[in-house]
Amino acid sequence: MTLPLERARSRKPVTWITLIGVLLLPVVIGGVLVASLYNPAERLNAIDAAIVNDDQPVTINDQTVPLGRQLTAGLVKGSDEVDSNLTWTISNADDAAAGLADGTYDAVVTIPENFSAAATSTQPGKTPEQATIRVKTPPDSLVVDDAITAQVTQAAASLMGQQLSQVYLENVFLGFTTLGDKLGEAATGAQQLADGAHQTADGAAQLPGGVTKLADAAGQLSTGATSLTGGLNQIAAGIGGAAGGATDLANGLDQAAAGVQNQQLKDAANASATYAKTTADQTAALAQSVGGVALSAKALTETLGALDATCATSGADDAYCAQVKAALGTAAGLATSAGGAAQAAVTAATSAGYTNGYAAPTASGITSLMDQTSAGVASAADGARGLAAGLGKLQTATTQSASGAGQLASGASQLSDGGTQLAEGSQSLADGVSQLATGTDSLASGLDTAVAQIPSYTEAQAKSLADVVSDPVAAKGASSSLFGASAVPLLATAALWFGALATFVALQAVTRRSLASRAPSALLALRAFLPAAGIGVAQGLLVAGVVQLAASYDWGQWSVFAALCVAAGVAFAAVNQALVAVFGGAGRWIAALVGALAVATGIVSTVPGVIASIASLLPTAPAYNAMVSALTSTSGVGAGLVGLLVWGLLAFIATVIAVARRRTVSARSLIEASVATA
């Protein structure tokens, strides 16, 4: 069945089959594009990929860590957020290479041997190294296959990296808490050390005063011991004289015993009585003096004993304490010797008293003594000799005491010098301990400040913070589809545009009867446009129906989208009619170029600016923008409709002008036509 429509470039009639073909062309194009490209993430299992796991597990804290196996399991299992995943095959290097070459695999993911070692290289004592995996696709892989494989692989690797970072950061945050606790303990110990240092500084500050007093006392002791030495030497000299006198007395008594009846004996007895009295007086004075020396030596021994008892606890030097002990021993010996000398002096005084007692009666009653036997005189002589012997011992002991007192004076002088040096050292010690106390205070204060600045976390807080720090930025609301909301408007625009192009591949843009027709040019252009406009309406409805079957939009959104498809079909028909009417066959070439620009600029935003600017001026731009606004509930539908209306009116005007030009014939053309028909 034929229709009253003119076929382009042919005089054959237009049939319903021709119209059905023109109607179905955009439907078929749109259906194929939508079915093939819309939301490819739901059909990822159509991509076959191989996994080659060459990773060697590592051992950490006596536990095997096979991160390569874990990554392999993560890739095979996929994500809970995405329903589809690639079809994975766990393979080896040879099989994967062969499968990639013969087309069995669309991609090969290789996990290298050092993957686990590199991924765990953040452990202490290791050199940090980034873990990597290799993704390989065949040279003839499809356009988006590489991007899909890379996206899935990077997502799995990123997730594993996030988990490793999370564990590492969790240990770091818990380490802050442990560090804070240990520094707190150190601060407490430093404070206790500072308190002890302050107490030590106080004691050390008192030590120089005590040592100075000790040095002064030792100096006084040295002076007294020197004086004692001189006195003892004088006493020893006096005792020596007394011993000589006692010896002379004994000799005189011996002579008296021999000549007891002699006048000379009387004289000698008188002289002896006088000398005996003198000797008794000197011996008594000597006994008193030696007793005083003994008391002084005893007092010195007690003083040195007290000093020796407190020397060790006063913090004095060990050498100094040893000198004190040596002086104590010398003083003790001196006290013993002085005691012996005192006892000997008392004995001598007693003997001298006896002698004086004997000599006096002899002097007063020499006559009666003459009557006594010479034995009594001999006894007196023996007593005088005993006195001489005792005085000799006393002289020796006194000399030894003088020597001991000299040693005591020397030791006390050394003790005084050592005490002075000890006082100076004690002052330095006090200054050093004071500085130690100040520094320890500063240390404790610094540690307290450090503890206050170090954060502390519980295990739950550390885990929560590690989750955030390991993945600090998250993109929400972004579509996981490789094609966004603009995919359907782009495909629908392209399908309708190429459908309008196909309409005027099949139909005549300007009637062949325009030259002979009496109708106005606008009416002739309208008669050619109306069938194409009707076809555009049908194409718009069919494309909108196919889109709804694939995407299942809300009916409110779809109704606006369908209306825009109808408007685009009518406007595109007008533009394609004008292109063919004005440029002829070149107009179809221009129309194909417009469709290519629309598709190219709608896929990616990285096209050159010149091409993007040209595409924004094409009749496909308002249709695409309006459809995007209809499906995303944004403004722009009205502007798109106005743009389509403007393009439709301008195209119809251009078609009318082209029809009018075809109805104008030059005289030369008529002459040539007449000659040809003659």
pLDDT in tens, 173-232: 555 566 667 666 776 877 787 777 677 767 767 767 766 776 676 677 678 768 767 766
In this prediction, residue 450 carries a pLDDT of: 64
Quick: pLDDT tens for 114-125: 888 887 777 666
241 φψ region: left (φ > 0), alpha (ψ -120 to 50), beta (else): alpha
pLDDT band for 137, please (50, 70, 90 cuts).
confident
In this prediction, residue 207 carries a pLDDT of: 65
pLDDT band for 479, please (50, 70, 90 cuts).
very low
The pLDDT of residue 4 is above 60: no
- Mean pLDDT lowest among 105-109, 346-350, 512-516, 527-531: 512-516
The top-scoring range by mean pLDDT among 159-168, 275-284, 302-311, 646-655 is: 646-655
pLDDT band for 164, please (50, 70, 90 cuts).
low
Q: Can you tell me the mean pLDDT for 58-68? A: 81
- CA separation for the pair 245, 386 (Å, rounded): 12
The pLDDT of residue 255 is above 80: no
Domain ranges of the chain: 2-38+487-677, 43-182, 206-453
- Other beta carbons within 10 Å of 178: 11
Residue 479 identity (one-letter amino acid)? S
The pLDDT of residue 347 is above 50: yes
pLDDT band for 473, please (50, 70, 90 cuts).
very low
pLDDT band for 439, please (50, 70, 90 cuts).
confident
Q: Pull the structure tokens for residue 106.
A: 């669309």
501 φψ region: left (φ > 0), alpha (ψ -120 to 50), beta (else): alpha
- CA separation for the pair 388, 475 (Å, rounded): 125
In angstroms, what is the C-alpha Rg of the chain? 67
Q: Can you tell me the mean pLDDT for 79-88? A: 63
In this prediction, residue 478 carries a pLDDT of: 37
Q: Can you tell me the mean pLDDT for 495-519? A: 80
Phi, psi of 520 (to 5 degrees): -60, 155
| Mean per-residue pLDDT over the chain, rounded | 74
The top-scoring range by mean pLDDT among 250-254, 299-303, 355-359, 446-450 is: 299-303
pLDDT band for 76, please (50, 70, 90 cuts).
confident
In this prediction, residue 623 carries a pLDDT of: 93
The pLDDT of residue 476 is above 50: no
Q: How many Å is the maximal CA-CA distance in the chain?
A: 228
The DSSP code for 509 is S
Q: Can you tell me the mean pLDDT for 300-328? A: 79
> With contact defined as beta carbons under 8 Å apart, do 423 and 210 qualify?
no
In this prediction, residue 578 carries a pLDDT of: 92
The pLDDT of residue 3 is above 50: no
> With contact defined as beta carbons under 8 Å apart, do 173 and 136 qualify?
no
In this prediction, residue 471 carries a pLDDT of: 47
CA-to-CA dists, residue 648 to 19, 67, 198, 654, angstroms = 22, 63, 99, 10
Residues of the chain above pLDDT 90, percent: 11
H-type alpha helices, 312-373: 318-364, 366-371
Quick: pLDDT tens for 619-672: 999 999 999 898 887 888 999 999 999 999 999 999 999 888 877 765 565 565
pLDDT band for 25, please (50, 70, 90 cuts).
low
pLDDT band for 560, please (50, 70, 90 cuts).
very high
In this prediction, residue 249 carries a pLDDT of: 64
The top-scoring range by mean pLDDT among 192-206, 351-365, 533-547, 599-613 is: 533-547
* Strand runs labelled E in 48-201: 48-53, 58-60, 63-65, 87-91, 107-111, 134-136
Q: Can you tell me the mean pLDDT for 488-492? A: 87
The DSSP code for 554 is -
Quick: pLDDT tens for 191-208: 787 777 677 767 767 767
Enumerate residues 6+ apart whose C-beta is below 8 A from 142: none
- CA separation for the pair 589, 32 (Å, rounded): 23
- CA separation for the pair 28, 535 (Å, rounded): 15
Run of H or E residues at 375: helix 374-453
In this prediction, residue 10 carries a pLDDT of: 44
- CA separation for the pair 159, 83 (Å, rounded): 17
- Other beta carbons within 10 Å of 620: 27
The pLDDT of residue 484 is above 60: no
Q: Can you tell me the mean pLDDT for 292-318? A: 79
In this prediction, residue 621 carries a pLDDT of: 92
Q: Write down the pTM of the prediction.
A: 0.46
Is 2.60.40 the CATH classification of the domain at 43-182?
no
What pairing do the DSSP bridges indicate for beta strands 87-91 and 48-53?
parallel
- Mean pLDDT lowest among 13-17, 52-56, 311-315, 442-446: 13-17
pLDDT band for 678, please (50, 70, 90 cuts).
very low
- CA separation for the pair 364, 373 (Å, rounded): 17
> With contact defined as beta carbons under 8 Å apart, do 30 and 495 qualify?
yes
- Grouping H, G, I as helix, E, B as strand and the rest as coil, residue 49 is strand
pLDDT band for 565, please (50, 70, 90 cuts).
very high
Q: Pull the structure tokens for residue 450.
A: 């450090």
